[in-house]
Amino acid sequence: MLFKKTILKKYDYRIREGTDVFKRLKEDIEVIFEQDPAARSYLEVILTYSGLHAIWAHRLAHALFKKKLYFLARVVSQISRFFTGIEIHPGAKIGRKLFIDHGMGVVIGETCEIGDNVTIFQGVTLGGTGKEKGKRHPTIKDNALIATGAKVLGSITIGENSKVGAGSVVLHEVPPNSTVVGIPGRVKIQDGVRINKDLNHSDLPDPIADRFKDLEQEIAKLNNELEELKKERSLVNGH
């Protein structure tokens, strides 16, 4: 009787575990329809979205990694990298509804932790800063967005609802509800107001462009002063 109860408990556990896996896979598909207006059908998404393939492969690799089957985990990871162009270390911890758009060139390090509803674009690196041991990769909190080509390096935290602008290099902590742009990344705090999680990362502040505008204004001012000096000199020479 005890043996029968043990078998039934294990069977029920496997059923629940299988149901949870199916729900997670379904969520991974649904988030693509939420985020990508180009997604047209489930078949298209399942067969052609490399970001989805990379996430599914990582879930398998991470399960192997947790069972200390490190070699098999790396094999799955490398096969996924070959076919998708996305490199996710099997040790990385990824939450629910991660959306990797396009994805080519994305690198996610071993001790990286990613929360729920995070969006990552192509060319993003979530990496370390050296050969240190232990926690050496970023932690990305819920609802964050990392735009194209951004580099987030070191054991730092990107807070909830924050955005990292395209091409930025972030080396320091980012508080929640913030926008980071530039090299090195500069935080634009939104006074605690939640940043809407949209995909419009083209309108983020650009400190480099702002500096160019300042320089243009200074040059224009100097040109005006120079013209005034030329007029005064002409008047003096005329007298």
Q: What is the reported pLDDT for 195?
A: 45
Domain housing 187: 93-205
For position 160, which CATH number holds? 2.160.10.10
Q: Do the domain assignments include residue 86?
A: no
Q: What is the reported pLDDT for 118?
A: 93
Q: What is the reported pLDDT for 184?
A: 79
Q: Do the domain assignments include residue 165?
A: yes
Q: What is the spatial distance between Cα 106 and Cα 120, in angstroms, rounded to a whole number?
A: 8
88 pairs with which residues across the strands?
Answer: 108
Q: What is the reported pLDDT for 182?
A: 82
Does residue 223 sit in the same domain as residue 191?
A: no
Q: Do the domain assignments include residue 5?
A: no
Q: What is the reported pLDDT for 207?
A: 63
C-alpha torsion sign, points 200, 204, 208, 209 = positive
**Which residues of the chain register pLDDT less than 70?**
1-20, 189-209, 238-239
Q: What is the reported pLDDT for 72?
A: 95
Does residue 150 sit in the same domain as residue 216?
A: no
Does residue 238 sit in the same domain as residue 161?
A: no
Do 105 and 126 touch, CB atoms closer than 8 A? no
Does residue 216 sit in the same domain as residue 186?
A: no
Does residue 132 sit in the same domain as residue 230?
A: no
Do 156 and 136 touch, CB atoms closer than 8 A? no
Does residue 161 sit in the same domain as residue 221?
A: no
Q: What is the reported pLDDT for 63?
A: 92
Q: Do the domain assignments include residue 193?
A: yes
Does residue 152 sit in the same domain as residue 109?
A: yes
Helix (H) or strand (E) holding 65: helix 50-66
Q: pTM for the whole thing?
A: 0.70
- Give the total number of structural domains in the chain: 2
Q: Do the domain assignments include residue 97?
A: yes
Q: Do the domain assignments include residue 14?
A: no
Do 145 and 197 touch, CB atoms closer than 8 A? yes
Q: What is the reported pLDDT for 134?
A: 83
Do 198 and 180 touch, CB atoms closer than 8 A? no
Query: What percent of the chain is predicted at pLDDT more than 70?
Result: 81
Q: Do the domain assignments include residue 60?
A: no
Does residue 142 sit in the same domain as residue 189?
A: yes
Q: What is the spatial distance between Cα 207 and Cα 183, in angstroms, rounded to a whole number?
A: 9
Q: What is the reported pLDDT for 239?
A: 57
Does residue 153 sit in the same domain as residue 112?
A: yes
Closest CA to 101 of 163, 34, 162: 34
Contacts of 120 (CB under 8 A, 6+ apart): 98, 99, 100, 101, 103, 106, 145, 146
Q: What is the reported pLDDT for 192?
A: 57
Does residue 121 sit in the same domain as residue 178?
A: yes
Q: Do the domain assignments include residue 239?
A: yes
Does residue 107 sit in the same domain as residue 158?
A: yes
Does residue 172 sit in the same domain as residue 108?
A: yes
